[in-house]
Amino acid sequence: MNDKPRILLIDDEPAILRVWRSSLRQWEDKYEILTAQNGYAALQIIQQKPCGLVVTDYRMPDMDGLELMSAIYADYPETRVILITAYGSDSLKQEAGKLNAWRYLLKPVDINVFRQVVREALEEEEETPSTGRQSGLLILSEARCQEIGRILEQLQTDVGAHVIILADANGQVVSSSGETPGFQTEEVASLLSGSMATLQAAGEVLDRDTETINLAYREGPKETLYAINVGRDLLLIIVIENTPYSSKLGTTWYYARQTAATLRDLLQSAKLENGSLLLNANIDDTLDDAFDKLFDE
């Protein structure tokens, strides 16, 4: 009899299922990895073999990912569900949050990111098996969004930024201030999150401080890019056009650090940090080249 914990992967495209399953192959000795190509097949599997973690696509024939999630939680409320979609929207994210999805990801998902979020879900399940599921989504009330927006607007004024974005590592924008047309938020955030995760880990080795606010920046020919972590979950991205009157590193760091601390405390007090930010620590040495491409006009 197979008593290993189970992971169920669901997508109506067989090729995607193969990629997902292959990426988790290293854990097959510890977990039973199952697949299904639609919601009804998934429910039949779960009824026979309850699964601790379910990863499902959103748009599928007959039953979509939200409907599947609702059906799973009705009978198996302890299950963690990761919803993945190529059709992301604020309304869909809110609906997933209401159902208490553990994580909401956008396609195409970097395979390292996919593995990491699965690992985090499994580790949390092992550490807190009796506490029930917790949402990894950042769901903000309208009042909270407005408050964060005002904070970002003030920072934009203080440092003279072209654009300021508060995002997670998947590039999902929580709030922004300034002009964003043409700015590849998702790709920039994903790349920056890797360097910030590495910097955070290195700092913790030195001083065991997990609350430090870290700064990474890159001065390009036309713009200077700053990235500051907000807790362990979010990333504050600042882009300043290079002019003789632009704010310098010291000034920007002073205001950005204050803002990051304010945002961190605000989110913690509101108990909005329900999951950990998906940080990809496998960023390679092509970071500078990637930035050059992102900011070239």
Domain with CATH 3.30.450.30 in the chain: 142-295
Most confident of 55-69, 214-228, 263-277: 55-69
Q: Where in the chain is the domain with CATH 3.40.50.2300?
A: 6-127
Q: Does domain 142-295 have CATH number 3.30.450.30?
A: yes
Domain 6-127 has CATH 3.40.50.2300: yes
Better pLDDT: 174 or 141: 174
Mean pLDDT of 137-165: 83
Q: How far is CA 191 from the centre of its chain?
A: 12
Q: What is the mean pLDDT of residues 108-115?
A: 82
- Residue 84's alpha-carbon distances to 11, 93, 122, 170, in angstroms, are 9, 10, 17, 12
pLDDT at 6 over 70: yes
Residue 23 has pLDDT above 60, yes or no: yes
How high is the pLDDT of residue 126? 63
pLDDT (mean) for 253-273: 78
pLDDT band at 281 (very low <50, low <70, confident <90, very high): very low
Band (pLDDT 50/70/90 cuts) for residue 128 is: low
The answer, yes or no, to whether residue 296 has pLDDT greater than 70, is no
Q: Which residue has the higher pLDDT, 99 or 271?
A: 99
> What is the pTM assigned to this prediction?
0.51
Instruction: Confirm if 71 and 57 have CB atoms less than 8 A apart.
Output: no
Average pLDDT over residues 251-279: 71
Model confidence band, residue 140 (pLDDT cutoffs 50, 70, 90): low
Is pLDDT above 80 for 28? yes
User: How wide is the angle at C-alpha 289 spanned by C-alphas 287 and 290, nearest 5°?
Assistant: 65
| Cα distance between residue 216 and residue 236, in whole Å | 11
Please give the mean pLDDT across all residues of the chain.
79
Q: What is the dihedral of CA 270, 130, 23, 169, to 10 degrees?
A: 10
Q: DSSP alpha helices (H): ranges in the chain?
A: 14-23, 39-48, 65-75, 90-98, 111-127, 142-159, 185-207, 249-269, 287-295
Tell me what the mean pLDDT of segment 165-170 comes to: 76
Q: Is the pLDDT of residue 113 over 60?
A: yes
Summarize pLDDT for 194-213 with one digit per residue, the tens. 667 667 677 767 777 667 78
Characterize the bridge pairing of strands 103-106 and 163-167.
Answer: unpaired
Mean pLDDT value across residues 22-34: 91
Q: Answer with the residue of higher pLDDT: 261 or 294.
A: 261
